[in-house]
Structure formats: structure tokens, C-alpha cells
Amino acid sequence: MRIGELAERAGTSTRTLRYYEARGLLPARRGANGHRTYDEDDLRLLRQIRVLQDFGFELEETRPFVDCLRAGHPAGDSCPASLAVYRRKLAELDELIGRLADVREQVARQLTDAEVAAGGNDRPACELNP
């Protein structure tokens, strides 16, 4: 298939596909006429990249999954390098969740303190005495 069809089927742009090609994530094959050509395996690579990016993975973090698929594995996450990326991402997410939990706790304390200061009114003290 040609680049336009691949872009359409993958739900992306031809510009994005050229960028992936330049980064070495998408193979740069050309037909006899000089046009880029792609197959179903390339579509599978793109879908893997899109899913991972939807999960918050950086483009470079998708490389081990792409390499795994290119090596002939049916799933891009069945190789040791892919598993290592999953582990790093989970650790990163756990850290972020911890920081967000701390911020939530601080905001909840601030709300409680503000409600106590307002005397339990739904309207802040600044609105009670104009």
C-alpha cells in the first residue's frame, strides 16, 4: 500500500509517517516507481506505536516494541527490552500517582482550613460582609 492509504488506515498523517521513517521506526521501502510502499506489518507497527503513545509513552520509548514486532514476535511487548520499558513506565506512573496523592491531600487540608475559617458557611466571609 502507498503512504496515503497507510496514513488513512492508521488514523494519522503522511507527515507523521515520514517522521517515523526518519526516526527509523517505520521502514523506508520504495517500489520500482520510487513511491514508498508498506504492508500489513507496517500497519501493525503503527498501531502499536499509537496505543503506547495513547498510554503516555514517548516516541523513543516505543522503539523496543517496534523492534520486537520486526523480529517476528506476534506481540510487541513479548521481548525483554519491551518488558523493561513497561517496568520503567510503571515506576514513573507510581511516582506520579504518589505526588498527585500528596497534592490532593494538601488541597483537601486547605479546603478544610478555609471552611473552618468561613465558619462553615457555603459563602466565603468576604461575601457575607460587603
The 10 Å CB-count burial string (b at 16+, else e) for 16-39 is bbeebbeeebbbeeeeeeeebbbe
**∠ CA 58-86-77 to the nearest 5 degrees?**
95
Q: What CATH fold (topology level) applies to the domain 3-128? A: Multidrug-efflux Transporter Regulator; Chain: A; Domain 2 (1.10.1660)
56-85 residue pLDDT tens: 999 999 999 999 988 888 888 889 999 999
Question: Is the pTM above the cut of 0.75?
Answer: no
pLDDT digit string, tens, across residues 93-109: 999 999 999 999 999 99
For the chain, which residues make up each domain, given as ranges?
Answer: 3-128
